[in-house]
């Protein structure tokens, strides 16, 4: 039966291709679990690191597939063609019945399906298994994993998945894992741009951005993205320089990916267009030009993709004064004037940012859900999976509650109802934020757009859904 763990099923020998921040940690966990592992990466030093902990190495993807029952590909979609079907690709060496698993993020709407056909035409088995969360989660085997393909094949290999992930979801037929990842990243990147806009506003007011975000970690606008932003702000100036984007007239440094990590936003918009679905906030995120907000956003993205949670970048303890979390009521918020007190009263600023960002997060989630409804993915399952990924937030949690709600219960939050009418007061925060930004010469394009969307919600399905989630959120927190 070989050296591997036959008690885990027919898979005993695993090949792993791609030893980046995520792949290296995932491969190490397979070694720890006792699997026989053969690895390949274009960077020889990375293979040497795995060899030192018990892995075998191969000179090519074909060499890996010759000796493996299962081949996991985690090297980035830009290398997929060469790795799978090149002269020394996986298909050249794989025996019939070999399982191929594609863990890469999608870079096109049909990504994964051609590869699935290539594999199955040769008698191979194929699953797409995308992962979410940071390298630290990969090291701790607490990733979230969304899998598409044959359900029986998924179930036979569930213990293998659990070796690397603490949350594993079967999403449906081939391509479903990639679809779920597209939606997760689309929502996450939209939330990130919105947060960057709010951080820009806070900074322009002369207030410590980190202090406000730390207070917001106990609020309804908190998110996985916000935690990462705080982590980036906790870096020293010298640490942050490694990840800062260049000035406008400079070329990107080695740690900044010039082809921004917003490909899923573009794909989501393209899919929405194909399905005749309006995604106004997501589209605006994709069209925003270079600015402090987008540059700040790139710093956050680059930093968390370089293992910022290790000892070099500790997340420093946060202590909060409970009295500082008593946000202003809607009535108090409506009375705010643009006086100098706004720039020194952090409670007022926190309240404005919290409610404005909450509305933006809800709109981002609603656009993702509206798109998902047309993608043949079970919505409740998708929302459960997304709640464990990098797009997690109270906005997403409340969206799931609304999705599970019986129609007669949900009706009270529909446009025109009492709960919906009360939630309209939340617009005051957005207007206040844009007025403050205007007085400081700071544009807030996403906030301004969202205000217009929320004023007339009935024409756009995603906006109607956002207004329902907002009404429920406000009523729940009264």
Strands 165-172 and 143-148: parallel
Locate 409 and state its tokens. 């219960």
57 - beta bridge partners? 39
| 419 touches 475 (CB < 8 A) | yes
At 143, is the secondary structure helix, strand, or coil? strand
Strands 143-148, 125-132: pairing kind? antiparallel
Residue 169, strand partner residues: 146
Strands of 13-17's sheet, edge to edge?
56-57, 36-40, 13-17, 70-73, 99-102, 125-132, 143-148, 165-172
Residue 179 is a catalytic residue: no
Q: Which of 13, 66, 151, 181 is catalytic?
A: 181
**Assigned token pair, 283:** 């589209």
Rounded (10°) CA dihedral 303, 306, 311, 314? 20
Distance CA 28, CA 140 (A): 10
The alpha carbon dihedral of 216, 219, 224, 225 has a sign of negative
Region of residue 105 (phi > 0: left; psi between -120 and 50: alpha; otherwise: beta): beta
Annotated catalytic sites, by residue? 181
């Amino acid at each position: 039966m070989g050296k591997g763990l036959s008690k885990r099923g027919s898979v005993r020998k695993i090949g792993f291709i791609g030893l980046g921040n995520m792949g290296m940690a995932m491969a190490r966990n397979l070694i720890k679990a006792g699997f026989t592992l053969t690895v390949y990466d274009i960077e020889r030093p990375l293979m040497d690191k795995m060899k030192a902990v018990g892995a075998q190495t191969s000179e090519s993807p074909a060499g890996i597939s010759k000796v493996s029952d299962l081949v996991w590909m985690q090297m980035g979609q830009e290398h997929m063609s060469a790795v799978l079907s090149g002269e020394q690709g996986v298909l050249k060496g794989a025996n019939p019945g070999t399982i191929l698993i594609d863990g890469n993020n999608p870079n096109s709407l049909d990504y994964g399906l051609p590869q699935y056909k290539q594999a199955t035409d040769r008698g191979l088995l194929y699953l797409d298994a995308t992962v979410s969360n940071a390298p630290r989660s990969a090291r701790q085997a607490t990733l979230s994993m969304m899998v598409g393909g044959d359900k029986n094949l998924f179930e036979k290999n569930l213990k293998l998945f659990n070796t690397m992930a603490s949350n594993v979801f079967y999403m449906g037929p081939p391509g479903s894992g990639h679809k779920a990842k597209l939606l997760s990243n689309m929502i996450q990147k939209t939330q990130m741009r919105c947060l960057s806009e709010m951080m820009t506003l806070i900074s322009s007011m002369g207030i410590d951005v980190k202090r406000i975000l730390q207070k917001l970690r106990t609020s309804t606008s908190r998110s996985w993205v916000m935690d990462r932003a705080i982590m980036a702000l906790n870096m020293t100036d010298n640490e942050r320089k490694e990840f800062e984007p260049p000035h406008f007239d400079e070329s990107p440094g080695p740690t900044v990916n010039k082809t921004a990590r917003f490909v899923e936003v573009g794909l989501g918009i393209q899919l929405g267009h194909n399905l005749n679905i309006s995604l106004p906030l997501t589209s605006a995120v994709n069209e925003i030009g270079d600015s402090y907000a987008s540059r700040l956003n790139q710093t956050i993205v680059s930093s968390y993709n370089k293992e910022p949670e290790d000892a070099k970048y500790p997340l420093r303890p946060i202590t909060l004064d409970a009295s500082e979390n008593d946000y202003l009521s809607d009535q108090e918020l409506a009375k705010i004037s643009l006086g100098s007190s706004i720039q020194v009263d952090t409670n007022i600023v926190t309240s404005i940012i919290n409610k404005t960002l909450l509305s933006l997060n809800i709109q981002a989630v609603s656009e993702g859900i509206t798109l998902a409804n047309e993608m043949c993915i079970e919505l409740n399952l998708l929302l459960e999976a997304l709640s464990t990924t990098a797009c997690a937030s109270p906005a997403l949690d409340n969206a799931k509650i609304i999705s599970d709600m019986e129609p007669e219960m949900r009706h009270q939050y529909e446009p025109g109802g009492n709960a919906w009418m009360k939630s309209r007061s939340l617009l005051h925060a957005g207007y206040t934020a844009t007025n403050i930004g205007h007085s400081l010469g700071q544009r807030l394009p996403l906030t301004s757009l969202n205000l217009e969307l929320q004023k007339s919600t009935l024409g756009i399905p995603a906006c109607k859904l956002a207004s329902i989630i907002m009404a429920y959120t406000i009523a729940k927190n009264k």
